[in-house]
Amino acid sequence: MKHFVAKNTGRTFILRMERGDLLREKIAELCQNERVHDAVVLSGIATFDIANIQMSNTVGFPMGYDVHNLSEPLELASLDGTIINGEPHIHGVIGNGNKTWAGHLLNGCRILYLGEVVIQEMLCQPLIRIADKDGVFLISRKGETIN
């Protein structure tokens, strides 16, 4: 286990998205425009008409994933994640009233009616994601190596 300390928090952003906006892409755009390097995605709600979600399907290596490309009215019930080096890593729980999916939200999740996301900037030594020997991308400090 490794941990990192953000001794100060920066700005808090409340991102409003409207019909047709792409959730992950708009979060990345906010980070670029506002020069947000590291942050925590505290919460989010949305409705989607298109959602792309990735879920693990293995318990060993090599890692395997299933991708669900959904095109129907969907409700985002929960959203959280991290932003490291300006790159969003977002997980969510979405459902259609009959079935629920949970996992990593990919690009292309399109807002049906509205989306709201709260992001808290973290002021700390800049972080990055680097792959370990198994290809798992872990949070690290710039210049640090992972075994």
pLDDT over threshold 90, residue 100:
yes
pTM (predicted TM-score): 0.89
Mean of pLDDT over the chain: 90
Distance, CA of 45 to chain centre:
13
**Average pLDDT, stretch 69-88?**
95
Coil, strand or helix at 98: coil
pLDDT given for residue 3 in this prediction? 72
DSSP 51: E
Instruction: Identify whether the C-beta of residue 67 lies closer than 8 Å to the C-beta of residue 40.
Output: no
- Give the confidence band of 38 by pLDDT, cuts at 50, 70, 90: very high
The larger pLDDT score, comparing residue 135 to residue 42, is at: 42
Residue 146 has pLDDT above 70, yes or no: no
Closest Cα to residue 108, out of 65, 64, 54?
Answer: 54
Q: What is the pLDDT of residue 134?
A: 75
Task: Examine the pLDDT at 77 and tell me if it is beyond 70.
Answer: yes
8 A C-beta contact, residue 48 and residue 109: yes
